[in-house]
Every structure is written in C-alpha cells, then in structure tokens.
Amino acid sequence: MPRRHPLPKLWLLTDERQGDALWRAIARLPRGSGIIVRHYSLSRADRQRLFTRIRALGRARGLIVILAGHNYRHGDPRLASAHNLSEIRAAERARADILLLSPLFATRSHPGRPTLGTLKFATLARATRLPVLALGGVMRHHEPLIARIGAYGRAGIDDFVKRRVS
C-alpha cells in the first residue's frame, strides 16, 4: 500500500482518564508521531466529534490520527493489536501495517493482568515481519530496551500525559 508518511515509531492512545491532559499531550508530541483515538465510552456522535477535533490538531502538527475500531481511510496505516502468536497471525492475514503487542509491562489500564515480559515479548516480536509497537507500561526510558527486544517503536497512554515526550 503506498503511504504518504513513514510509519510513526511513537503513538499516543487516547483514553477517558486523560481528561484535559490529552490536549497537552497532543501538543507535545513530536512531528511524525501517531495518535489512536479510542474513547470507547463516548456516544458514536461524540466520539466522531472528538476524532475530528484531534485530527485537525494532528494535521496542523504533522501527526497521523486514526480512529480505533473503524475502517481506515486510504493511506492510513492499518494497525492491529495482539497478545499472543495466534493474534499476530490473524493481524498478518488481515494485512495490518503495524502491530501493537501488549502488555509488555504492568499497566494502570489493565491492573493485575499478566504481562508478556521481555523474553516472551522478544519471542513474539521476532515471530512476525510486521513492525511491532511495544505497549503496556512502556515509558520513554524503555526505548533502548524495547529496541533490543525487537520493537519498532512504542505506544502508550500514561507516559504521554505525565511529561515531555520528545
């Protein structure tokens, strides 16, 4: 699929818990990053309005913005999430462009959920040709580690609202 942009290595996932901090996080994202608009609790109309607002901000700043759970527009990268090998294979069959593999570490979003850890993550990341984004408790200071275990980049929620993300 021809792309207008290279695949971002840094992705912000939106979440209702972010509140007004979401707008500061978007403003701090480096040019060429991506945003996945989730906000699943909103009505369809409210979610679409939020997506439209975020997309306008993103375009002005050179960001790629995708609405999770909807059909992709032409030229958008197609993302898939996976937690195990069978979900990775399903993403490959669906011709995803990039894979969110999680959870690498413990997260506030899914407290108590078992994590992949670095060894299992590395095994799964190396089992696919898709670029893999590390998700789940991943912070900026983890970037050297995630590169060593096969991640193309990272995605998250909390790290983006807490501090500068460059």
Pairing of strands 153-156, 10-13: parallel
Q: Which pLDDT score, from 0 to 100, does residue 38 have?
A: 92
Domain range annotation of the chain? 10-162
Whether residue 166 is predicted with pLDDT greater than 60 in this model: the reply is no
What are phi and psi for residue 94, nearest 5 degrees? -80, 0
pLDDT in tens, 1-54: 344 447 999 999 998 888 889 999 999 999 999 999 999 899 999 999 999 999
Tell me the CATH class for 10-162: alpha beta
Q: What is the DSSP string of the chain?
A: ---SSPPPSEEEEP-GGGTTHHHHHHHHSPTT-EEEE--TTS-HHHHHHHHHHHHHHHHHHT-EEEETTSPPPTT---EEEESSHHHHHHHHHTT-SEEEE--SS--SSSTTPPP-HHHHHHHHHTT-SS-EEE-SS--GGGHHHHHHTT-SEEEESHHHHHS---
pLDDT in tens, 63-119: 999 998 766 666 788 999 999 999 999 999 999 999 999 999 998 877 888 999 999
